[in-house]
Structure formats: C-alpha cells, structure tokens
Amino acid sequence: MGGMKRSTEKMKDILLKALEDLVSVNSIFTVAAFLGLSFATPNELHSLEINRPECDPDVKMGKRLILCEVVSFSSFLLSSLVAKSLKIYLSIYYPDTKSSERDQAQPDSNVKLFHLGRGLMFVLSILASVVGVLFLTISMVYVVEIKLGKLSCGIHETSSAVIALWVFIPFGLFIYLAVMSTALFYCVKEP
C-alpha cells in the first residue's frame, strides 16, 4: 500500500510541468494576438470579394477586432503571470522535497503541497487562458470576415473558415480543460 501513495516530489513535478505547459501555450497565443492586430488597420479593411462592396468590413469591425485582441492578450498575460508566480512559489517553499530538511522532519504524507489558495490560483490561470482562447477565436472570425468578406454575405469560404474555427477550437479546449483538471485533481486529492 505504501507504493500507492503519491510523493510530494511527484505532485510538485506534475504541477510544475502543467504550469510550464500553460505558460508555453499562452506565449504562442500571445504572438497570434499581436499578429491579428495587423489586420485592423484602415487600409486592410477590404475583403477579397471584389465585385461586392457590401461585403467589405466596416470600421466598427476593425474596432471590435482590436477589442478582442486586447482582451485576449490581457487574459493570456494574466494566466501566464499567475502560473509563473505559482512556479516560483513552489520552487521557494518546496525546493527539492526529497532532500530538504522539512521532509526529513515530517513524513511525506503530511506535507501539504496544494491548498485552497494555490488551487484557486491554478484555476484562475486555467480560466484566464480559456477566456483568452475564446476572445482570440472571436478575433480570428473578424480576421476571416475582413479578408474573405462578411458572414452576412453568404460567402462559402467565410462560412467554412468560421465553422472550422468553432468546431476545432472548442474540441481542443475540451481536451485542454480535461487534462489540466486532471492534473489539478490529482494534486488536490488525498493520497
């Protein structure tokens, strides 16, 4: 039965890996948010639909694109800062749990690596990342409309691109949330 118990070192490694992956993903999405801003310039507000000026995006769509990009960027930044803070906290207070004096003084099962405050910070980091992805997806819809033409024009390519965004991204988010929740649950659950 002793081999079934999870060590603090293993839980710390799982948390650190999950946090590192969260920060890496956020970094990639942050770059995407900045790239999306380049499509919001007034000279870029013309679709590829040449003979239908009513399909060209208006200035308001460019403004909404910028708003979504800024909210997305802010969410990714919040998520990354909270995740990095948690990593630093774990490194300071649980440096090398196998060789620290704290572990020698008390049994491994009594070390409380994860408590409510850190759990809420982990959840905040995950949720901020999800909000960032949702706003990045909305901004990508605006980019598609700016480049291919408004959805209201019934352009096949615009509709196909938007459908792909709204099918694949929620599927990816579902997998992401399931894996991150599993990591969180694994570390919170009693050994």
pTM attached to this predicted model: 0.78
Residue type for position 52: R
* 82-91, 95-104, 173-182: the lowest-pLDDT one: 95-104
Cα angle: 37, vertex 38, 43; to 5 degrees: 120
| Residue among 112, 118, 114, 108 nearest 7 (CA) | 108
Report pLDDT digits (tens) over 91-106: 887 766 454 444 444 4
Cα angle: 178, vertex 125, 74; to 5 degrees: 125
Contact between 86 and 15 under an 8 Å Cβ cutoff? The reply is yes
Report pLDDT digits (tens) over 20-37: 888 888 888 878 777 767
* 47-51, 98-102, 157-161: the lowest-pLDDT one: 98-102
Confidence of residue 6 (pLDDT cuts 50, 70, 90): low
Phi, psi values for residue 7, rounded to 5°: -85, 155
